[in-house]
Structure 1
Amino acid sequence: MPIKIPDTLPAFETLAHEGVRVMTETVAIRQDIRPLQIGLLNLMPNKIKTEVQMARLVGASPLQVELSLIRIGGHKAKNTSEDHLLAFYETWEEVRHRKFDGFIITGAPIETLPYEEVTYWKEMQQILDWTTTNVHSTMNVCWGAMAAVYHFHGVPKYQLKEKAFGVYRHQNLKPSSIYLNGFSDDFAVPVSRWTEVRRTDIEKVPALQILMESSEMGICLVQETAGNRLYMFNHVEYDSTSLADEYFRDVNAGVPIKMPHNYFPHNDPALQPQNRWRSHAHLLFGNWINEIYQTTPYDLEEIGTKA
């Protein structure tokens, strides 16, 4: 089954061109099934790029998925037009009465700020608490993962001396995990962050289990079975050119930045980078969607009512 998103959302044409099956409201209502309700809390400045990246992975599932775009109500986006937000997004306050089978919380370019200094931290805490009663399973990404593991378990983040930036080899530490079904023992993952969480702190929390790790970049993916949460500290959702876009942005702005590790062919920024993580990104999200489908209640209103 394809993903259901608004026909006029910019991601619609991009995904259709890539071969991702998308469907209109008219087609969706003819199918006598309940689509999975997935919410995307998009905290990234360029929301349209992130919509495409996440919808691409969610839409690759054989199940029918309805994606709802959500934003922080009191925060003004700098790189996305107000018209786009009004046309396609709802604020969390507007959807807080709803139940979702799955919920994705993205990263945000505010890693170096203490959590309590983030302008929308109080609302973020409310949203994280709300996911425990209104969401069956949550996928937290990059800063969203750091914020969630700090909120629920007090796991701190640490400032890095330089930006962790590039494509790094990671190891599959739990091949039997439902979320790593089909994964290789060793695989590439894009990394782009100024902070990190550390193994020693994760290991202090019995509820947390490390699934992916890099010998160079540390923790990548953590599972919390009791809370039905995944914490992805890197960027499997990135496009082939995402790291290049960040690199050239900083170079053009005169910001000191190293060339992304193991990314440009022959370390030549003039050459087109190759995507070596796409298949595992699809596997991870496909496994997550499948697990949601297998375990979520048929009646959405039952979410959060049972242990």
Structure 2
Amino acid sequence: MTILIDRDQVISSPALVPAERDLARNHGGELTIGLVNNMPDPALKATERQFLKLLQAAAGPRRIRLHCFSLPSVKRSPEAKWHVESEYSDLSDLKRQKFDGLIVTGAEPVAPELDQEPYWHDLTELIDWAKGNTRSAIWSCLAAHAAVLHLDGIARRRLPAKCHGIFDCDAVTSDALTVAAPAPLKVSHSRLNELAESDLAQAGYQVLTRSAEAGVDVFVRQYASRFVFFQGHPEYDALSLQREYLRDIGRYLARERETYPRLPVSYFDAATEDKLGRFEKKAVHQRHPALTTELPGLNLRADIDAGSAAAVLFRNWVQYLSMEVEAPVLAPQPKVLVPR
């Protein structure tokens, strides 16, 4: 699937993308970006929409040609597999060309160790390819953990409890990626593991943002391509964490997980947290899938500011790609012979 993104068009879903002839105008150079969407089936289409909206808002006067892919070794339901096979481009097509930018999402873990995941080989091949065939690549959540393990042998560490919620992150290094960023940046995190800042620093990575509660947020490493790593999910919309939380409750009630999920940090308002606390007690006592019909109405905190961090990060990232694209190429100057 190739999507042409122009700031003046309305894109509600990838299925409603205008034909290329309707986007013939080009106001400031065209960028080619690849999205390798490996998110779990329930989040597959939502992830497409989130990145589409972010890139369209960040495009400015430019047109972006977005190519969608997914690792073929990520396990899918029949419905999701049909969507990927019919709407996405084949990953082999990606490796036959160069991209200005690449975005690689995480995937749901199914093995105890990253290098035992069924998609490990495909993912590491993609990491190696991106070093020399992109101007910059973004690695999100599990993809970030996999990348640093493959590149430098840095192993992630299991957390005592899931890092899940919206966290205040501070810029700790001056960088073009965080120019004009709000202080603090409110970023969604949803993970069971973390990378230690000391391990990253020792290997030569530069941490750009961190949270006192969630640890490292955004960090970078320069190869021929500039690699940008997100431990969090700045692209998440306001309801992403709610969908994950309700999914985990459903899995607990269906006995697909052993522990009841913790509330996302700084996410629901106080009244909702109180109602969910009462529901948890009932769910633990009466554990049955039918209880999902008794979940209370949910209200988010008014100050979560979803998307503000992503808007800044992606605007600056697209600007970085554009500077590379639009930099003038100087023609060789004729030699001037000076008489001796």
Task: Give the TM-score range, shorter chain.
Answer: 0.7 to 0.9
The answer to whether the 8 Å contact 2:248/2:261 transfers is yes
Q: What is the letter of the counterpart of residue 126 of structure 1?
A: E
* Structure 1 unaligned regions, length at least 5: 6-10, 300-307
* Structure 2 unaligned regions, length at least 5: 274-296, 329-340
Structure number with the higher helix fraction is 2
Partner in structure 1 of residue 331 of structure 2: none
Partner in structure 2 of residue 271 of structure 1: 298
Partner in structure 2 of residue 304 of structure 1: none
Candidates 187, 190, 209, aligned match of 1:189: 187
Q: What is the letter of the counterpart of residue 72 of structure 1?
A: L
Deviates more, 1:265-274 or 1:92-101: 265-274
Partner in structure 1 of residue 214 of structure 2: 217
The answer to whether the 8 Å contact 2:104/2:139 transfers is yes
Q: What is the letter of the counterpart of residue 222 of structure 1?
A: F
Measured against aligned partners, the alpha-carbon deviations of 1:214-249 in whole angstroms (never above 9, x if no partner) come to 111100000113441100110111111111111111
Q: What is the letter of the counterpart of residue 215 of structure 1?
A: A
The answer to whether the 8 Å contact 2:172/2:210 transfers is yes
Partner in structure 1 of residue 80 of structure 2: 81
Partner in structure 1 of residue 52 of structure 2: 55
Q: What is the letter of the counterpart of residue 266 of structure 2?
A: N
**C-alpha separation in 2, matches of 1:222 and 1:252:** 34
The share of aligned pairs that are identical, in percent, is 27
**C-alpha separation in 2, matches of 1:267 and 1:135:** 47
User: Which structure: larger Rg?
Assistant: 2
The answer to whether 1:261 aligns with 2:265 is yes
**C-alpha separation in 2, matches of 1:178 and 1:219:** 18
Aligned length: 287
The answer to whether the 8 Å contact 1:15/1:56 transfers is no
The answer to whether the 8 Å contact 1:112/1:195 transfers is no
Measured against aligned partners, the alpha-carbon deviations of 1:15-55 in whole angstroms (never above 9, x if no partner) come to 999xxxx7541122343764200000111123211101111
**C-alpha separation in 2, matches of 1:100 and 1:150:** 24
The answer to whether the 8 Å contact 2:37/2:105 transfers is yes
Partner in structure 2 of residue 151 of structure 1: 150
**C-alpha separation in 1, matches of 2:192 and 2:78:** 21
The answer to whether the 8 Å contact 1:45/1:79 transfers is no
Partner in structure 2 of residue 108 of structure 1: 107
Q: What is the letter of the counterpart of residue 272 of structure 1?
A: N
- Residues 143 and 84 (structure 1 numbering): CA distance in 2 closer, same or farther, change over 3 Å? same
The answer to whether the 8 Å contact 2:186/2:308 transfers is no
Partner SS state of residue 236, structure 2:
coil
TM-score, with normalisation over the residues of structure 2? 0.78
**C-alpha separation in 1, matches of 2:110 and 2:117:** 9
The answer to whether the 8 Å contact 1:101/1:292 transfers is yes
Partner in structure 2 of residue 140 of structure 1: 139
Partner SS state of residue 253, structure 1:
helix
The answer to whether 1:282 aligns with 2:280 is no
Candidates 25, 34, 48, aligned match of 2:20: 25
The answer to whether the 8 Å contact 1:115/1:147 transfers is yes
The answer to whether the 8 Å contact 1:211/1:221 transfers is yes
Partner SS state of residue 166, structure 1:
strand
- Residues 33 and 189 (structure 1 numbering): CA distance in 2 closer, same or farther, change over 3 Å? closer
Superposed CA RMSD in Å reads: 2.6
- Residues 295 and 244 (structure 1 numbering): CA distance in 2 closer, same or farther, change over 3 Å? same
